[in-house]
Structure 1
């Protein structure tokens, strides 16, 4: 009996170390950044069982077998659709500004679609104005309405959008809504999904959270896009979830969320439509590609027709495209770079690019919320401030609520607006979308919005920052250690 227990003990010990060795080897064999690999190894060695479970849950990009197969199967038809689109030569831009050209070249080579011209864009900074405009477009819709959001929360003016959608479906407009399971968890517990389906709306719970399948698909891989498509001609995208800020997270102590949306009309809506179609097929298995535009003349001529690219990321889309786009944008800056983000946990490469821009004389401004709804991200963000300040970067802490806008403006000409946070999750994990605009007039509009954010912010003084207490520095370094995992 004693021999039996001794053998079992040795087998358990051997299995335990074999498991650690196996996970270690897997981490080393995966192509990832050195800081990320080191962070995972240290977590596993300090807290072996917890670390191994955490790595199996969150350490690798698992889309799930069925979705991965669909993502692979959809590409032949998508490539064929893009080939048809390229035959519509009238919609593609022939002239790109020097500051935008490197990024547009990257997007064209990686996504296979050149920049699209003949679009009209309108920035919307007010939730009320955005909702009124959206409801008006829904009421005028004739053929289709398609939406994808990370968070949809019933209450306030969001219920007016729901009612408008159900009315549209009842009059024969095809309506499809895709909502992230984790972000919209509370919504799926309300009567609204049932009421919408009864009215004829297809409502899909994307990347459904399932405790029984936690080791088969990465649970923190989320559908983070925010897109509205109407009649394959009008689109909305930006940072706004479908929530009324007056009723959303009021107990978090950060104030109302401040967002930015772009209303887009023109050929680029079709590009956003193919992204939506790909997401829909990955989630449901149903293939519903949009009709390529057939313009005999552009809806908006050059003086009003913004040149636009769309960058989509996530499993099934070009790897690291968002990260590469941000790096290209930062390195293209010659005069000024303004970035807004609620969550600032950059990669080493992106941090180096931002600091290098400031060191070569670019006026670099980063606007972040003073109070953050994520304690870990808030402290991790602060760990980067010293290096940024030493390089000459101006850090503005927004005090008018949780600044949720994700935007980049380069030299007043190149604008990026979308769903991408400057953190590891957005750069390499989630389904994200960014609209890239090459237009000085649009850049001026975005600059005015960012100037308003700066006016409502407090600039961080390097001398005062250097005097912060030691306990704050310790906490910052602690969360910096986890930054590759956030």
Structure 2
């Protein structure tokens, strides 16, 4: 009997060694950042069984066979659609500032998307203002409403938005609502889902979570965009999910979520409509690209261009990350960043440190309290390097600062759905606007200044004196960067 146990033990050890060796080779030979590969190897060896299991779940971008094939077929058609915009009068390279010119080149060469002029922008940062504005535009809708959100949480004015969509569908408006399956799980189980479907609203779950398929498709891949397009003439995007903050996660201990949205009128609306069409086809297989806009901006409209920068599986890799790093490298005197989750890639961390070390004034504003314990401690593991390089770090205490924004030189800005963590930059479906509009950028900069007034600046000397157990937690959670 002892001999059988001995043989079984040896076989188990051999099989486990073979499994770890196979996963190790797979990690090493995947084309990705060295820091990510090393982090995964540490997780696999420090947490032997759990580490291998986590790698199979989260280690590789696996869309599933059907979605992967569909995305590959879609790319050419959508690139052709975007490329047509290069020939319209709204693509005016002569008026582009230095900051956006290279981002236009990047997005144009990689996916055919040009920066377009002739847009009117409205920065909205009050939840009541945002939701009431959306309701008014929905009430004016004549033929189509396209929406995609990560979270739709019932309660408060979010219910008023749902009611306005139902009324729009009842009067014949074609309403397409795409919601992330995990983020909007509570909505899918509410009576609002049934009411919408019964009224003719087309509600689709994006990336539906099915536990029995955990090894066939990556479960933590999420649809994180927030886009509304009404009649292909008015659009919204930004950081805010379809929630009323007074009714959302009030018991989480982080305070009210602080967000912004941008209301857009002009040629850029059609680009956002096309991004929604991409997401809709990716999930359903149904194609309905918007009409190519006339792109003949009136003389009195501002000529400052907007570049839509999307990213996500099936699209060219890392476009938002590349656009962000391009913008950082082009800064001449200042960079100000707000993000709820800060777990930067090695490239982004290096870009920030290099900018600070060449004398660029950098403000990083992140929430003091976070709804993710792992992210909180992983974020703090980067404080020392950034403070040492000269970056000013502020912790916002007025709630969970969920605004995702970057202002460069007080003249140019990036605003959208993307967090400064590897999940947003490398994995999820995201969208960012690069805006070459000084007036809009100044408004955003002033809003960031208000955030700073409700924040505590981290003192480098005090930070160096933090307790040893804090340092241990920071280093421990740093190991889990690939999962954050």
- TM-score (norm. length: structure 1): 0.96
Aligned to 1:440: 438
**Contact 2:95/2:303 (CA < 8 Å) preserved in 1?**
no
Q: Which moved more, 1:48-57 or 1:7-16?
A: 7-16
Distance 1:261 1:306 in 2: 19
Q: 1:298 to 1:59 in 2, by over 3 A?
A: same
1:114 Cα deviation from its structure 2 partner: 1.9
Do structure 1's residue 164 and structure 2's residue 148 form an aligned pair? no
TM-superposition CA deviations, 1:411-459 (whole Å, max 9, x none):
1111100011010101100000001101111111111111111111111
Structure 1 unpaired stretches of 5+? none
Q: In the alignment, which residue of structure 2 is the partner of 1:363? A: 361
Q: Which runs of 5+ in 2 are unaligned?
A: none
Equivalent residue, structure 2, for 1:402: 400
Shift of 1:5: 6.0
1:475 is displaced (CA, Å) by 1.2
Alpha-carbon distance, 1:11 to partner: 3.5
CA distance in 1, matches of 2:16, 2:451: 53
The answer to whether the Cα contact below 8 Å between 1:118 and 1:299 also exists between their aligned partners in 2 is yes
How far the C-alpha of 1:75 sits from its partner, in A, is 2.1
Closer, same or farther: CA 298–471 of 1 in aligned 2, 3 Å: same
Other structure's SS at 1:116 match: coil
**Worse-matched range after superposition: 474-483 or 342-351:** 474-483
Residue in structure 2 matched with residue 58 of structure 1 by the alignment: 58
Match of 1:277 in 2: 277
Q: CA–CA distance in 1 between the matches of 2:455 and 2:2? A: 70
Shift of 1:102: 2.5
CA distance in 2, matches of 1:100, 1:72: 28
Find the residue that maps to 2:374 and give its secondary structure.
Answer: helix
Q: Which residue of 2 aligns with 1:298?
A: 297
TM-superposed deviation, 1:77: 2.2
Distance of 2:194 and 2:252 partners within structure 1: 30
What secondary structure sits across from 1:100 in the alignment? helix
1:36-47 alignment, distance < 5 Å:
36-47=36-47
CA contact (8 A) 1:93 1:116 kept: no
1:31 deviation in Å?
A: 1.1
Alignment of 1:185-204 (within 5 A): 185-204=185-204
After the TM superposition, which residues 127-166 of structure 1 pair with which residues of structure 2 at under 5 Å, given as runs?
127-166=127-166
Q: Is the 8 A contact 1:143 1:174 kept in 2?
A: yes
* CA contact 1:418–1:435 (8 Å) conserved in 2: yes
Q: How has the CA–CA distance of structure 1 residues 55 and 235 changed in structure 2, closer, same or farther, with 3 Å as cutoff?
A: same
Question: TM-score of the superposition, structure 2-length normalised?
Answer: 0.97
Per-residue CA distance 1:23-57 (angstroms, 9 max, x = gap): 11111110122221122112212222211111000
Distance 1:286 1:301 in 2: 38
Tell me the secondary structure at the aligned position of residue 373 of structure 1: coil
Distance 1:47 1:471 in 2: 21
- 8 A contact 1:92–1:114 mirrored in 2: no
Q: CA deviation at 1:477?
A: 1.5
Residue 22 of structure 1 corresponds to: 22
Matched with 2:266 is 266
CA–CA separation in structure 2 for the residues paired with 1:413 and 1:273:
27
Counterpart of 1:467 in structure 2 is 465
The 5-angstrom pairing of residues 319-338 of structure 1 reads 319-338=317-336
Deviating more after overlay: 390-399 vs 219-228: 390-399
Equivalenced residues, count: 484
1:252 alignment partner, SS class: coil
1:381-420 paired onto structure 2 within 5 Å: 381-420=379-418
SS of residue paired to 1:142: coil
Q: In the alignment, what sits opposite 1:423?
A: 421
Distance verdict in 2 for CA 1:91–1:141, change over 3 Å: farther
Give the structure 2 partner of residue 84 of structure 1.
84
